[in-house]
A = this chain, B = another copy of it.
Amino acid sequence: MFTVFRGGQSGAWRVTRLAPVKGASLARTPALSSVYSASIALPILPSLTSWRLAGVASHVRYTERAEKNQLIEAQAPLGRPDATCAALIPIKKSAAWWELTQEERRQIFEDRSNHIAGSLKYLPAIARQLYHCRDLGEPFDFLTWFEFVPAHADAFEELVAMLRATEEWNYVEREVDIRVERERLDAG
């Protein structure tokens, strides 16, 4: 199953900010929605005023066993009723990154950039799901979706600033930062 994010005129999330961090932006739309889909192709095609990005929640690529166990223990699920703030951050890494071998990427990703260890302290406050899309022929390589309560907005800024300052981020050639909000979900 694919997860398809769609920026458009309507959707569950209200877009509060959409800005390019590096490279070309996406069209600013008033709303964002996400759906599960058995197919990447959607009946509604992107237009000048909307866009769609598809990805797949896949197996882990860099996380080692001890880290995976720590993450599973610490992480929160998506969809918490109070998590009314979210962010969608699509990124594309450079050809130089993808020409590296697995252990070279792992060295940059974790040994030198502390991507996993550095992110762990933001769990479970920031719920997170990574979607892979490089092999789908999509314009980005990854879509990361984050959810948090408004009180953790500063922690989230700290997390993204920490990641953007890493050696790993030198290999990011396109990044868009999309912030969204919704009403609190009724528990009932």
Supposing A136-B136, A137-B1 touch, asked if A102 and B98 sit within 8 A by C-beta, the answer is no
Tell me the bound Cα distance from A134 to B59 in angstroms.
10
Contact B56 A135 (CB under 8 A): yes
Tell me the bound Cα distance from A40 to B133 in angstroms.
14
Contact B41 A39 (CB under 8 A): yes
How many copies of the polypeptide does the oligomer hold? 2
Interface membership of A161, Cβ < 8 A? no
B contact residues around A64 at 8 Å (CB): 101-103
User: What total of chain A residues lie within 8 Å of the partner, measured CB to CB?
Assistant: 29
Specify the chain B residue showing the minimal Cβ separation from A59: B98
Interface membership of A122, Cβ < 8 A? no
Specify the chain B residue showing the minimal Cβ separation from A37: B137
Contact A101 B38 (CB under 8 A): no
Tell me the bound Cα distance from A39 to B68 in angstroms.
34
Tell me the bound Cα distance from A1 to B136 in angstroms.
9
Tell me the bound Cα distance from A68 to B62 in angstroms.
18
B contact residues around A63 at 8 Å (CB): 101-102
B contact residues around A61 at 8 Å (CB): 61, 102
Tell me the bound Cα distance from A61 to B58 in angstroms.
14
